[in-house]
A and B are shown apart, each in its own frame.
Chain A
């Protein structure tokens, strides 16, 4: 019988899958900023609240540390909306400044990262409006919500593509391009749920849509990616030893 997912929730599972990558990221951050490094536990909600309180009482330099864990999430989410790297970077910078100015209005019932992503998406939509460009998602909503063809690529077997395959640039490019080609409404949900690992509720809050819409869009995004990528990856990565999913 196939190895199946456990009952510990998605975040825990994904952390297991990606534990080493996350640890490396934290070490990199620490190495870059040893002089301002805060206690590793700052990411917990209570520490986050404490940092925010200290910023509001004048220790504004701590804002750098507050946003550091969220930079990637904010940028990738904005990129999923703008599709232009330079523009997405500028919107991310502007959103961070707006978040700083508006910090007093942050309420701790939301996660800081979710609040930050919402500000960044608002800033992205504002830029698109000023430029006279319709937000990509509004076009997609009209075109894609009624589509029914979300069948996967049918394969009779699957040989595991190991993470080492990511050392190959063309594999990384294929993944990035496939995500980039998703309709924006699916790309945004996929970015928050499957790349940045927000849960359904957090994704719904950040994108201002219902939890049910998150689930529907995520399913379609995953099926579209499987349909496009599975045949491509299968052809690009030669058969190696069989890999079995861990049940732990």
Chain B
């Protein structure tokens, strides 16, 4: 089987996640060796994933954690653990 660029693109995500079988992986890698376009698509996608995963990209609002724990501290005293289902917790 000779892969076309469109086929490689359709497997990019699974390829990045190492979720393609050995045979397909070899075909993709064979294609990548000579295809600048697909290599650039793969590299740029990976690069974007690294940048978006960095904790500097998505920051919590200033004081988020402090406000959360202050509210918890106030309400944990009064709150009781009663074992409701998480799918249907009480209002």
- Inter-chain CA distance A71–B16, complex, in Å, is 27
Interchain CB contact under 8 A, A98 and B60: no
Interchain CB contact under 8 A, A105 and B12: no
When distances are taken between beta carbons in the complex, the residues of chain B under 8 Å from A56 are 81
- The distance from the CB of B68 to the nearest CB of chain A, in whole angstroms, is 6
- Inter-chain CA distance A215–B40, complex, in Å, is 22
**In the complex where A105-B85, A156-B40, A160-B47 touch, is A195 in contact with B58 (Cβ < 8 A)?**
yes
Number of interface residues of B (CB under 8 A): 60
Interchain CB contact under 8 A, A163 and B54: yes
- The distance from the CB of A118 to the nearest CB of chain B, in whole angstroms, is 6
Interchain CB contact under 8 A, B80 and A101: yes
- Inter-chain CA distance A154–B44, complex, in Å, is 10
When distances are taken between beta carbons in the complex, the residues of chain A under 8 Å from B21 are none
- The distance from the CB of B8 to the nearest CB of chain A, in whole angstroms, is 10
Please name the residue on chain B nearest to A157 by beta carbon.
B40
Interchain CB contact under 8 A, B18 and A222: no
Q: A83 contacts the other chain (Cβ, under 8 Å)?
A: no
Interchain CB contact under 8 A, B48 and A2: no
Interchain CB contact under 8 A, A194 and B12: no
**In the complex where A1-B29, A76-B58, A100-B81 touch, is A161 in contact with B52 (Cβ < 8 A)?**
no
Interchain CB contact under 8 A, B9 and A17: no
Please name the residue on chain B nearest to A80 by beta carbon.
B58
Q: Which of A86-100 contact B (CB under 8 A)?
A: 89, 92-93, 96-100
When distances are taken between beta carbons in the complex, the residues of chain B under 8 Å from A2 are 29, 32-33, 39, 42-43
When distances are taken between beta carbons in the complex, the residues of chain A under 8 Å from B84 are 101-102, 105
**In the complex where A18-B53, A155-B40 touch, is A60 in contact with B48 (Cβ < 8 A)?**
no
Interface string of A158-173 (1 = CB under 8 A from B): 1011010111000110
Interface string of A108-143 (1 = CB under 8 A from B): 000000010011001100100000000000000000
- Inter-chain CA distance A192–B46, complex, in Å, is 17
Q: A43 contacts the other chain (Cβ, under 8 Å)?
A: no
Q: A54 contacts the other chain (Cβ, under 8 Å)?
A: no
Further pairs besides A93-B67, A222-B49: 15, Cβ < 8 Å = A4-B29, A7-B18, A64-B69, A102-B86, A104-B83, A105-B83, A118-B86, A126-B91, A156-B40, A160-B43, A195-B52, A200-B17, A215-B13, A229-B48, A230-B45
Q: List residues of chain B with CB under 8 Å of any chain A CB.
A: 6, 9-10, 12-19, 29, 32-33, 36-37, 39-58, 60-61, 64-65, 67-69, 71-73, 75-76, 79-87, 89-91
